[in-house]
Protein backbone atom coordinates (compact mmCIF):
# COMPACT_ATOMS: atom_id res chain seq x y z
CA UNK A 1 0.00 0.00 0.00
CA UNK A 2 2.93 2.30 0.72
CA UNK A 3 4.21 1.66 -2.85
CA UNK A 4 0.93 2.75 -4.48
CA UNK A 5 0.77 5.91 -2.36
CA UNK A 6 4.29 6.84 -3.47
CA UNK A 7 3.31 6.53 -7.13
CA UNK A 8 0.24 8.70 -6.58
CA UNK A 9 2.47 11.42 -5.17
CA UNK A 10 5.13 11.05 -7.94
CA UNK A 11 2.83 11.22 -10.95
CA UNK A 12 1.82 14.91 -10.54
CA UNK A 13 5.47 15.79 -10.01
CA UNK A 14 6.48 14.04 -13.27
CA UNK A 15 3.72 15.75 -15.23
CA UNK A 16 4.71 19.10 -13.74
CA UNK A 17 8.36 18.67 -14.73
CA UNK A 18 7.33 17.67 -18.28
CA UNK A 19 5.11 20.73 -18.59
CA UNK A 20 7.93 23.03 -17.44
CA UNK A 21 10.40 21.43 -19.92
CA UNK A 22 7.97 21.83 -22.80
CA UNK A 23 7.42 25.50 -21.87
CA UNK A 24 11.18 26.04 -21.77
CA UNK A 25 11.72 24.42 -25.23
CA UNK A 26 8.83 26.42 -26.67
CA UNK A 27 10.21 29.70 -25.34
CA UNK A 28 13.69 28.84 -26.72
CA UNK A 29 12.20 28.00 -30.16
CA UNK A 30 10.18 31.24 -30.20
CA UNK A 31 13.29 33.16 -29.19
CA UNK A 32 15.38 31.56 -31.97
CA UNK A 33 12.70 32.18 -34.55
CA UNK A 34 12.38 35.77 -33.42
CA UNK A 35 16.13 36.23 -33.89
CA UNK A 36 15.94 35.16 -37.55
CA UNK A 37 14.78 37.70 -40.14
CA UNK A 38 11.46 37.03 -41.86
CA UNK A 39 13.30 36.86 -45.20
CA UNK A 40 14.88 33.61 -44.02
CA UNK A 41 11.49 31.91 -43.72
CA UNK A 42 10.38 33.46 -47.01
CA UNK A 43 13.43 31.94 -48.67
CA UNK A 44 12.65 28.52 -47.20
CA UNK A 45 9.08 28.82 -48.42
CA UNK A 46 10.27 29.67 -51.94
CA UNK A 47 12.60 26.68 -51.92
CA UNK A 48 9.82 24.36 -50.83
CA UNK A 49 7.66 25.71 -53.63
CA UNK A 50 10.48 25.20 -56.17
CA UNK A 51 11.03 28.91 -56.82
CA UNK A 52 14.86 29.14 -56.64
CA UNK A 53 15.20 32.65 -58.05
CA UNK A 54 12.88 34.16 -55.43
CA UNK A 55 14.59 32.05 -52.74
CA UNK A 56 17.99 33.46 -53.70
CA UNK A 57 16.67 37.01 -53.48
CA UNK A 58 15.25 36.31 -50.03
CA UNK A 59 18.50 34.77 -48.76
CA UNK A 60 20.50 37.68 -50.17
CA UNK A 61 18.29 39.94 -48.08
CA UNK A 62 19.02 37.80 -45.00
CA UNK A 63 22.76 38.05 -45.65
CA UNK A 64 22.45 41.83 -45.99
CA UNK A 65 20.49 42.21 -42.76
CA UNK A 66 22.65 39.81 -40.75
CA UNK A 67 26.33 39.83 -41.81
CA UNK A 68 27.10 37.18 -39.17
CA UNK A 69 25.42 34.46 -41.25
CA UNK A 70 28.67 33.31 -42.89
CA UNK A 71 27.37 29.83 -43.69
CA UNK A 72 24.54 31.39 -45.65
CA UNK A 73 27.07 33.51 -47.56
CA UNK A 74 29.03 30.39 -48.48
CA UNK A 75 25.86 28.60 -49.58
CA UNK A 76 24.82 31.56 -51.73
CA UNK A 77 28.26 31.84 -53.34
CA UNK A 78 28.31 28.15 -54.23
CA UNK A 79 24.79 28.41 -55.61
CA UNK A 80 25.70 31.42 -57.76
CA UNK A 81 28.74 29.56 -59.14
CA UNK A 82 26.70 26.48 -60.02
CA UNK A 83 24.20 28.68 -61.85
CA UNK A 84 27.00 30.31 -63.85
CA UNK A 85 26.63 33.68 -62.08
CA UNK A 86 30.34 33.91 -61.37
CA UNK A 87 30.38 37.69 -60.84
CA UNK A 88 27.88 37.43 -57.98
CA UNK A 89 29.76 34.43 -56.52
CA UNK A 90 33.04 36.38 -56.63
CA UNK A 91 31.42 39.37 -54.94
CA UNK A 92 30.01 37.22 -52.11
CA UNK A 93 33.29 35.41 -51.44
CA UNK A 94 35.38 38.57 -51.76
CA UNK A 95 33.20 40.26 -49.13
CA UNK A 96 33.82 37.34 -46.82
CA UNK A 97 37.58 37.16 -47.45
CA UNK A 98 38.07 40.87 -46.72
CA UNK A 99 36.04 40.98 -43.50
CA UNK A 100 38.44 41.87 -40.65
CA UNK A 101 36.38 40.05 -38.01
CA UNK A 102 36.23 36.72 -39.88
CA UNK A 103 37.99 33.80 -38.14
CA UNK A 104 41.01 32.45 -40.00
CA UNK A 105 39.48 29.03 -40.90
CA UNK A 106 36.49 30.77 -42.51
CA UNK A 107 38.79 33.23 -44.31
CA UNK A 108 40.71 30.29 -45.81
CA UNK A 109 37.39 28.76 -46.84
CA UNK A 110 36.43 32.02 -48.55
CA UNK A 111 39.78 32.17 -50.40
CA UNK A 112 39.35 28.59 -51.59
CA UNK A 113 35.84 29.31 -52.88
CA UNK A 114 37.08 32.53 -54.48
CA UNK A 115 39.80 30.63 -56.33
CA UNK A 116 37.16 28.29 -57.78
CA UNK A 117 35.03 31.29 -58.77
CA UNK A 118 37.94 32.87 -60.66
CA UNK A 119 38.73 29.55 -62.35
CA UNK A 120 35.13 29.14 -63.48
CA UNK A 121 35.13 32.74 -64.76
CA UNK A 122 38.33 32.16 -66.74
CA UNK A 123 40.37 34.58 -64.60
CA UNK A 124 43.22 32.13 -64.25
CA UNK A 125 45.85 34.50 -62.86
CA UNK A 126 43.55 35.67 -60.08
CA UNK A 127 42.50 32.08 -59.36
CA UNK A 128 46.17 31.08 -58.95
CA UNK A 129 46.79 34.09 -56.71
CA UNK A 130 43.93 33.15 -54.37
CA UNK A 131 44.82 29.46 -54.22
CA UNK A 132 48.53 30.12 -53.70
CA UNK A 133 47.64 31.70 -50.36
CA UNK A 134 46.44 28.31 -49.13
CA UNK A 135 49.58 26.20 -49.49
CA UNK A 136 49.38 25.22 -45.83
CA UNK A 137 46.47 24.54 -43.54
CA UNK A 138 43.26 22.55 -43.88
CA UNK A 139 42.56 23.70 -47.46
CA UNK A 140 46.07 23.02 -48.81
CA UNK A 141 45.26 19.70 -50.50
CA UNK A 142 42.00 20.99 -52.00
CA UNK A 143 43.71 24.16 -53.25
CA UNK A 144 46.52 22.18 -54.85
CA UNK A 145 44.02 19.95 -56.64
CA UNK A 146 42.33 23.01 -58.11
CA UNK A 147 45.74 24.45 -59.01
CA UNK A 148 46.59 21.23 -60.83
CA UNK A 149 43.39 21.57 -62.82
CA UNK A 150 44.27 25.21 -63.54
CA UNK A 151 47.76 24.33 -64.81
CA UNK A 152 46.28 21.69 -67.11
CA UNK A 153 43.90 24.28 -68.56
CA UNK A 154 46.79 26.70 -69.05
CA UNK A 155 49.00 23.88 -70.42
CA UNK A 156 51.64 24.82 -67.87
CA UNK A 157 52.94 21.27 -67.79
CA UNK A 158 56.04 21.83 -65.66
CA UNK A 159 53.95 23.56 -62.98
CA UNK A 160 51.47 20.71 -63.27
CA UNK A 161 54.26 18.21 -62.59
CA UNK A 162 55.32 20.13 -59.47
CA UNK A 163 51.71 20.37 -58.23
CA UNK A 164 51.14 16.65 -58.83
CA UNK A 165 54.30 15.75 -56.92
CA UNK A 166 53.22 17.95 -53.99
CA UNK A 167 49.79 16.32 -53.99
CA UNK A 168 51.38 12.88 -54.16
CA UNK A 169 53.35 13.64 -51.00
CA UNK A 170 50.41 15.36 -49.27
CA UNK A 171 47.56 12.98 -50.15
CA UNK A 172 49.57 9.78 -50.41
CA UNK A 173 47.83 9.23 -53.75
CA UNK A 174 49.38 7.94 -56.96
CA UNK A 175 49.84 10.62 -59.62
CA UNK A 176 52.37 8.74 -61.76
CA UNK A 177 49.96 8.34 -64.67
CA UNK A 178 49.30 12.09 -64.78
CA UNK A 179 52.97 13.05 -64.35
CA UNK A 180 54.00 10.74 -67.18
CA UNK A 181 51.38 12.32 -69.43
CA UNK A 182 52.59 15.81 -68.51
CA UNK A 183 56.10 14.73 -69.55
CA UNK A 184 54.68 13.46 -72.85
CA UNK A 185 52.98 16.81 -73.42
CA UNK A 186 56.31 18.58 -72.88
CA UNK A 187 57.97 16.12 -75.25
CA UNK A 188 55.36 16.80 -77.90
CA UNK A 189 55.89 20.55 -77.52
CA UNK A 190 59.64 20.07 -77.88
CA UNK A 191 59.10 17.96 -80.99
CA UNK A 192 56.94 20.67 -82.55
CA UNK A 193 59.66 23.22 -81.78
CA UNK A 194 62.25 20.94 -83.45
CA UNK A 195 64.13 20.18 -80.23
CA UNK A 196 64.44 16.39 -80.44
CA UNK A 197 66.98 16.10 -77.61
CA UNK A 198 64.57 17.76 -75.17
CA UNK A 199 61.76 15.56 -76.43
CA UNK A 200 63.78 12.38 -75.83
CA UNK A 201 64.69 13.55 -72.30
CA UNK A 202 61.06 14.21 -71.39
CA UNK A 203 60.03 10.84 -72.81
CA UNK A 204 62.74 9.15 -70.77
CA UNK A 205 61.26 10.79 -67.66
CA UNK A 206 57.76 9.72 -68.68
CA UNK A 207 58.86 6.08 -69.00
CA UNK A 208 60.73 6.29 -65.71
CA UNK A 209 57.65 7.71 -64.00
CA UNK A 210 55.23 5.17 -65.50
CA UNK A 211 56.80 2.20 -67.34
CA UNK A 212 53.34 1.17 -68.59
CA UNK A 213 52.89 4.46 -70.47
CA UNK A 214 52.33 3.66 -74.17
CA UNK A 215 52.34 7.23 -75.39
CA UNK A 216 56.09 7.59 -74.74
CA UNK A 217 57.22 4.90 -77.25
CA UNK A 218 54.74 6.24 -79.80
CA UNK A 219 56.31 9.69 -79.49
CA UNK A 220 59.84 8.22 -79.48
CA UNK A 221 58.96 6.72 -82.85
CA UNK A 222 57.78 10.14 -84.00
CA UNK A 223 61.09 11.67 -82.88
CA UNK A 224 63.04 9.05 -84.84
CA UNK A 225 60.87 9.54 -87.92
CA UNK A 226 61.28 13.32 -87.75
CA UNK A 227 65.04 12.81 -87.64
CA UNK A 228 65.01 10.57 -90.71
CA UNK A 229 65.56 7.33 -88.78
CA UNK A 230 62.68 5.35 -90.29
CA UNK A 231 63.99 1.99 -89.11
CA UNK A 232 64.33 3.28 -85.55
CA UNK A 233 60.79 4.66 -85.66
CA UNK A 234 59.46 1.36 -87.00
CA UNK A 235 61.22 -0.52 -84.20
CA UNK A 236 59.57 1.68 -81.57
CA UNK A 237 56.09 1.33 -83.04
CA UNK A 238 56.29 -2.43 -83.61
CA UNK A 239 57.42 -2.93 -79.98
CA UNK A 240 54.04 -1.57 -78.79
CA UNK A 241 52.43 -4.89 -79.71
CA UNK A 242 54.49 -6.58 -76.99
CA UNK A 243 53.90 -3.79 -74.46
CA UNK A 244 50.12 -3.45 -74.92
CA UNK A 245 48.63 -4.84 -78.13
CA UNK A 246 45.39 -2.90 -77.62
CA UNK A 247 47.24 0.29 -78.67
CA UNK A 248 48.56 -1.13 -81.96
CA UNK A 249 45.72 0.44 -84.03
CA UNK A 250 46.96 3.89 -82.95
CA UNK A 251 50.25 3.31 -84.81
CA UNK A 252 49.03 1.10 -87.66
CA UNK A 253 49.06 3.90 -90.25
CA UNK A 254 52.52 5.04 -89.05
CA UNK A 255 53.87 1.50 -89.45
CA UNK A 256 52.46 1.20 -92.98
CA UNK A 257 54.00 4.54 -94.01
CA UNK A 258 57.35 3.53 -92.51
CA UNK A 259 57.37 0.25 -94.43
CA UNK A 260 56.40 2.15 -97.59
CA UNK A 261 59.30 4.59 -97.08
CA UNK A 262 61.63 1.58 -96.82
CA UNK A 263 60.10 0.04 -99.95
CA UNK A 264 58.74 -2.91 -97.98
CA UNK A 265 54.98 -2.63 -98.38
CA UNK A 266 54.77 -6.40 -98.63
CA UNK A 267 55.97 -6.64 -95.02
CA UNK A 268 53.33 -4.11 -94.01
CA UNK A 269 50.61 -6.28 -95.58
CA UNK A 270 52.04 -9.40 -93.96
CA UNK A 271 51.97 -7.66 -90.57
CA UNK A 272 48.40 -6.45 -91.07
CA UNK A 273 47.17 -9.86 -92.31
CA UNK A 274 48.55 -11.46 -89.17
CA UNK A 275 46.80 -8.93 -86.93
CA UNK A 276 43.48 -9.33 -88.78
CA UNK A 277 43.33 -12.93 -87.52
CA UNK A 278 43.24 -11.66 -83.92
CA UNK A 279 40.81 -9.61 -81.88
CA UNK A 280 42.14 -6.29 -83.21
CA UNK A 281 40.56 -6.87 -86.63
CA UNK A 282 37.72 -4.28 -86.36
CA UNK A 283 40.19 -1.54 -85.44
CA UNK A 284 42.68 -2.42 -88.18
CA UNK A 285 40.23 -3.22 -90.95
CA UNK A 286 40.26 0.22 -92.53
CA UNK A 287 44.08 0.41 -92.58
CA UNK A 288 44.37 -3.12 -93.99
CA UNK A 289 41.78 -2.42 -96.67
CA UNK A 290 43.42 0.83 -97.82
CA UNK A 291 46.88 -0.76 -97.91
CA UNK A 292 45.69 -3.80 -99.83
CA UNK A 293 43.80 -1.61 -102.29
CA UNK A 294 46.84 0.60 -102.87
CA UNK A 295 49.35 -2.26 -103.26
CA UNK A 296 47.39 -5.03 -105.00
CA UNK A 297 44.24 -3.35 -106.34
CA UNK A 298 40.48 -3.72 -105.80
CA UNK A 299 40.28 -7.45 -106.59
CA UNK A 300 42.77 -8.33 -103.83
CA UNK A 301 41.07 -5.89 -101.46
CA UNK A 302 37.67 -7.52 -102.11
CA UNK A 303 39.20 -10.97 -101.54
CA UNK A 304 40.74 -9.83 -98.25
CA UNK A 305 37.42 -8.43 -97.05
CA UNK A 306 35.59 -11.58 -98.12
CA UNK A 307 38.01 -13.67 -96.05
CA UNK A 308 37.55 -11.30 -93.11
CA UNK A 309 33.77 -11.63 -93.36
CA UNK A 310 34.15 -15.40 -93.01
CA UNK A 311 36.46 -15.03 -89.99
CA UNK A 312 34.65 -12.20 -88.23
CA UNK A 313 31.46 -10.89 -89.85
CA UNK A 314 31.04 -7.20 -89.11
CA UNK A 315 29.21 -4.34 -90.75
CA UNK A 316 32.52 -2.57 -91.37
CA UNK A 317 33.99 -5.58 -93.21
CA UNK A 318 30.84 -5.78 -95.35
CA UNK A 319 31.12 -2.06 -96.14
CA UNK A 320 34.75 -2.41 -97.21
CA UNK A 321 33.87 -5.45 -99.32
CA UNK A 322 31.30 -3.50 -101.31
CA UNK A 323 33.68 -0.54 -101.57
CA UNK A 324 36.23 -2.88 -103.18
CA UNK A 325 33.57 -4.35 -105.48
CA UNK A 326 32.52 -0.85 -106.57
CA UNK A 327 36.15 0.13 -107.18
CA UNK A 328 36.65 -3.05 -109.21
CA UNK A 329 33.56 -2.30 -111.32
CA UNK A 330 34.72 1.27 -111.95
CA UNK A 331 38.16 0.05 -113.05
CA UNK A 332 36.60 -2.54 -115.36
CA UNK A 333 34.25 0.03 -116.92
CA UNK A 334 37.13 2.46 -117.45
CA UNK A 335 39.25 -0.21 -119.10
CA UNK A 336 36.33 -1.30 -121.29
CA UNK A 337 35.62 2.26 -122.37
CA UNK A 338 39.25 2.86 -123.27
CA UNK A 339 39.57 -0.34 -125.32
CA UNK A 340 36.21 -0.13 -127.13
CA UNK A 341 36.00 1.56 -130.55
CA UNK A 342 33.86 4.70 -130.68
CA UNK A 343 30.34 3.88 -131.84
CA UNK A 344 29.26 5.35 -135.15
CA UNK A 345 27.39 8.57 -134.67
CA UNK A 346 28.22 8.52 -130.96
CA UNK A 347 25.84 7.10 -128.39
CA UNK A 348 25.37 6.74 -124.69
CA UNK A 349 27.73 4.64 -122.61
CA UNK A 350 26.44 1.24 -121.56
CA UNK A 351 25.37 1.22 -117.91
CA UNK A 352 25.97 -1.98 -115.96
CA UNK A 353 22.95 -2.61 -113.68
CA UNK A 354 25.02 -4.82 -111.37
CA UNK A 355 27.60 -2.09 -110.95
CA UNK A 356 24.85 0.40 -110.13
CA UNK A 357 23.41 -1.96 -107.54
CA UNK A 358 26.84 -2.51 -105.96
CA UNK A 359 27.47 1.24 -105.79
CA UNK A 360 24.06 1.82 -104.20
CA UNK A 361 24.72 -0.82 -101.53
CA UNK A 362 28.15 0.71 -100.88
CA UNK A 363 26.69 4.19 -100.44
CA UNK A 364 24.01 2.90 -98.07
CA UNK A 365 26.53 1.02 -95.92
CA UNK A 366 28.91 3.98 -95.83
CA UNK A 367 26.07 6.19 -94.63
CA UNK A 368 25.16 3.64 -91.97
CA UNK A 369 28.69 3.16 -90.62
CA UNK A 370 29.97 6.73 -90.89
CA UNK A 371 29.06 7.81 -87.36
CA UNK A 372 28.94 4.51 -85.53
CA UNK A 373 32.45 3.90 -84.25
CA UNK A 374 33.36 6.07 -81.27
CA UNK A 375 35.96 6.09 -78.53
CA UNK A 376 34.24 6.29 -75.14
CA UNK A 377 35.57 7.62 -71.84
CA UNK A 378 35.30 5.05 -69.05
CA UNK A 379 34.75 7.78 -66.44
CA UNK A 380 32.16 10.16 -67.92
CA UNK A 381 30.99 8.38 -71.09
CA UNK A 382 32.11 11.21 -73.42
CA UNK A 383 32.27 9.86 -76.97
CA UNK A 384 34.52 11.07 -79.78
CA UNK A 385 35.65 10.00 -83.22
CA UNK A 386 39.29 10.74 -82.34
CA UNK A 387 41.38 9.13 -79.62
CA UNK A 388 42.36 11.44 -76.75
CA UNK A 389 44.89 10.81 -74.01
CA UNK A 390 42.96 13.30 -71.86
CA UNK A 391 39.17 13.15 -72.01
CA UNK A 392 37.68 16.47 -73.21
CA UNK A 393 34.62 15.80 -71.06
CA UNK A 394 36.00 15.08 -67.57
CA UNK A 395 39.70 15.97 -68.16
CA UNK A 396 40.85 12.61 -66.78
CA UNK A 397 43.97 11.01 -68.26
CA UNK A 398 44.08 7.62 -69.99
CA UNK A 399 40.36 6.99 -69.59
CA UNK A 400 39.83 6.33 -73.31
CA UNK A 401 40.20 2.69 -74.24
CA UNK A 402 42.07 2.37 -77.56
CA UNK A 403 39.18 0.26 -78.82
CA UNK A 404 36.07 1.88 -80.22
CA UNK A 405 32.85 1.32 -78.31
CA UNK A 406 31.05 -0.22 -81.30
CA UNK A 407 32.47 -3.26 -83.03
CA UNK A 408 30.19 -2.50 -85.98
CA UNK A 409 28.88 -6.02 -85.85
Q: pLDDT per position in the chain (409 positions), as tens?
A: 444 554 455 455 545 545 444 444 434 433 444 445 555 445 545 444 555 555 555 555 554 545 556 776 777 777 778 778 788 788 878 777 777 777 788 888 888 888 888 888 878 888 888 878 877 778 888 888 888 988 998 899 999 999 999 888 887 788 999 999 999 999 999 999 999 999 999 999 999 999 999 999 999 999 999 999 999 999 999 999 999 988 999 999 999 999 999 999 999 999 999 988 877 777 888 899 899 989 998 888 888 888 888 888 777 777 777 777 777 777 667 766 666 655 444 545 555 666 666 667 666 666 666 655 678 888 888 888 888 898 888 889 988 878 765 543 3
Number of domains in the chain: 3
What pTM was estimated for this model as a whole? Answer: 0.71
SS3 at position 376: strand
Query: Does one domain contain both 301 and 395?
Result: no
Q: Which of 310, 291, 311, 316 is nearest to 301 (CA)?
A: 291
25 falls within a domain = no
Cβ distance 191 to 226 under 8 Å?
yes
183 is in an annotated binding site: no
Q: What angle do CA 62, 65, 68 make, to 5 degrees?
A: 85
Q: What are the two backbone dihedrals, phi and then psi, of residue 397, each rounded to the nearest 5 degrees? A: -100, 140
Residue 408's pLDDT is 38
Residue 127's pLDDT is 82
130-to-80, 111, 119, 383 alpha-carbon distances in Å: 19, 6, 10, 34
Which string of DSSP letters, residue by residue, matches 181-215? HHHHHHHHHHHHTT-HHHHHHHHHHHHHH-TT-SH
408-to-44, 282, 400 alpha-carbon distances in Å: 53, 8, 18
Query: Does one domain contain both 309 and 404?
Result: no
Query: Does one domain contain both 97 and 162?
Result: yes
Query: Does one domain contain both 399 and 358?
Result: no
Q: Which range marks the domain in which residue 291 is found?
A: 264-334+353-370
Q: Whole-angstrom Cα distance, residue 406 to residue 374?
A: 7
189 falls within a domain = no
Cβ distance 316 to 281 under 8 Å?
no
Query: Does one domain contain both 92 and 167?
Result: yes
Query: Does one domain contain both 303 and 399?
Result: no
279 falls within a domain = yes
Q: Whole-angstrom Cα distance, residue 73 to residue 91?
A: 10
Residue 309's pLDDT is 82
Query: Does one domain contain both 273 and 364?
Result: yes
Residue 117's pLDDT is 84
CATH number at residue 101: 1.25.40.10
319 falls within a domain = yes
Query: Does one domain contain both 393 and 296?
Result: no
Query: Does one domain contain both 162 and 132?
Result: yes
Residue 336's pLDDT is 67
SS3 annotation, 81-92? HHCCCHHHHHHH
343 falls within a domain = no
Polymer length in residues for the chain: 409
Q: Whole-angstrom Cα distance, residue 307 to residue 236?
A: 30
Which among 142, 171, 200 is the end of a domain?
171
14 falls within a domain = no
102 falls within a domain = yes
Cβ distance 190 to 198 under 8 Å?
yes
184 is in an annotated binding site: no
Amino acid sequence: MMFETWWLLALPLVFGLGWMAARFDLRQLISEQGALPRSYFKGLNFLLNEQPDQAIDAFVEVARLDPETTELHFALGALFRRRGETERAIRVHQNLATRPDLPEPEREHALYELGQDFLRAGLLDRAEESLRRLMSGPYAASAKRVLLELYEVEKEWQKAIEAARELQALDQQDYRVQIAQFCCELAQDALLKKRPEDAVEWLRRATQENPANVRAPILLGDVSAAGGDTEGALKQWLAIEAQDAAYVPLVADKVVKAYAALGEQGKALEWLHGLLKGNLAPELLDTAYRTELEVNGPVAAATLMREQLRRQPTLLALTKYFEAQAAENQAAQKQSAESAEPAEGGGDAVIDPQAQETAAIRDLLQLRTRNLARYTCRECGFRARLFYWQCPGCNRWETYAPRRSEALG
